[in-house]
């Protein structure tokens, strides 16, 4: 395999990993606050539909990304009102949000099915972008990739090094004690949920604005569920989520390359390979984990102040 082919495969891995990483990063923050949002798939697909519609109508990728992010946050706000304010079951509300998002995205994007637009712009640095093997990989990605890395740096630093991160983790580990110390548990959780929705919406917008610059119904194809699995795979740590996303991205590119080279396996099986790899990685991680669960202790538990 020549250097250009190697670079093309590596760029493909990063491209496939980016929407997963964005969605997983947002869900990780929400879960560290104790909120389990199973509506990631619904928020992603709404971000994809609304982001493409806005970008197509305005001609601006930036506006499309911002609209997709905002719509994801609005979907998360609905989930947050149900689960954080009214203490509805987080599992039921998340599943309902996914079903609602899949249906609403079909309605929003119905007028844009089959339409195409230019992909998101890529970084171009003279003398660096065209370096062999690493040029496009490091200096020629689209701006979503660099935004995702900067966001990961901010989340990692915020969770471990700031007072806000300490408060967020305290709410996720013991919301009763945090409340007794005067922490506004509901406000913290609602903000975390909104951040998770914004990241999921941005990840969905990436799918329709850069990964495949067109809209088709249900184009997320289960990526929201994989993002949820990646949070567990990452043990609720941002940079491990990046590793898991790259693993899934590599499996995705592998099945595409296998089909291109005509490997004699059913296409349906090859399409299932990325999801199978993710499940096997989760099983391997579970078998290797000797200590107890590292999940936030209050994950999925509603907070009611008068209890």
* Phi and psi at residue 231, to the nearest 5°: -65, -45
Largest CA distance in the chain: 65
The Cβ of residue 21 has, within 10 Å, a number of other Cβ atoms equal to 30
Once rounded to an integer, what is the mean pLDDT over residues 35-42? 97
Q: How far apart are CA 137 and CA 296, in angstroms?
A: 35
Return the closest-CA partner of residue 210 out of 197, 221, 219, 222: 219
Q: How many residues does the chain have?
A: 307
Q: How confident is the model at residue 193 (pLDDT cuts 50, 70, 90)?
A: very high
Q: How far apart are CA 19 and CA 17, in angstroms?
A: 6
Q: What is the pLDDT of residues 57-81, one digit of tens each?
A: 999 999 999 999 999 999 999 999 9
Q: What is the pLDDT of residues 83-113, one digit of tens each?
A: 999 999 999 999 999 999 999 999 999 999 9
More confident residue, 132 or 268: 132
CB of 38 closer than 8 Å to CB of 229: no
Q: HSE of 155 in the Cβ direction (CA atoms, 13 Å)?
A: 28
The burial class, CB within 10 Å (0-12 / 13-18 / 19+), for 190 is: buried
The torsion defined by the Cα of 119, 125, 128 and 129, in degrees rounded to 10, comes to 10
SS3 at position 113 = strand
Q: How confident is the model at residue 271 (pLDDT cuts 50, 70, 90)?
A: low
For residues 261-278, one letter each, b for 16 or more C-beta atoms within 10 angstroms of the residue's C-beta and e for the rest, the string is eeeeeeeeebeebbbebb
């Amino acid at each position: 395999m020549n250097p250009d082919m190697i670079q093309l495969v590596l760029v493909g891995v990063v491209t496939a990993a980016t929407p997963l990483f964005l969605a997983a990063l947002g869900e990780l923050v929400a879960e560290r606050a104790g909120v389990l949002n199973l509506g990631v798939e619904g928020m992603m697909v709404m971000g994809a539909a609304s982001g493409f519609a806005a970008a197509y109508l305005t001609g601006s990728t930036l506006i499309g990304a911002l609209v997709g992010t905002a719509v994801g946050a609005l979907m998360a706000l609905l989930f947050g009102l149900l689960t954080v304010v009214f203490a509805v079951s987080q599992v039921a509300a998340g599943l309902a949000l996914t079903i609602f998002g899949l249906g609403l995205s079909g309605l929003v994007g119905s007028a844009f099915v089959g339409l195409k637009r230019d992909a998101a712009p890529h970084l171009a640095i003279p003398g660096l972008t065209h370096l062999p093997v690493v040029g496009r990989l490091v200096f020629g990605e689209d701006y979503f990739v660099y935004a995702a890395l900067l966001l990961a740096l901010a989340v990692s630093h915020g969770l471990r090094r700031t007072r806000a991160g300490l408060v967020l983790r305290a709410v996720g580990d013991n919301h009763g004690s945090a409340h007794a110390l005067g922490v506004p548990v509901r406000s913290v959780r609602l903000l975390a949920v909104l951040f998770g929705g914004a990241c999921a919406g941005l990840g969905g917008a990436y799918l329709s604005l850069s990964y495949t610059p067109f809209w088709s119904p249900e184009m997320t194809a289960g990526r929201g569920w994989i993002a949820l699995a990646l949070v567990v795979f990452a043990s609720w740590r941002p940079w491990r989520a990046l590793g898991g996303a790259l693993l899934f991205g590599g499996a995705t590119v592998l099945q595409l390359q296998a089909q291109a080279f005509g490997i004699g396996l059913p296409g349906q099986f090859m399409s299932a390979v990325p999801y199978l790899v993710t499940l096997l990685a989760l099983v391997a991680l579970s078998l290797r984990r000797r200590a107890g669960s590292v999940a936030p202790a209050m994950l999925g538990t509603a907070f009611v102040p008068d209890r």
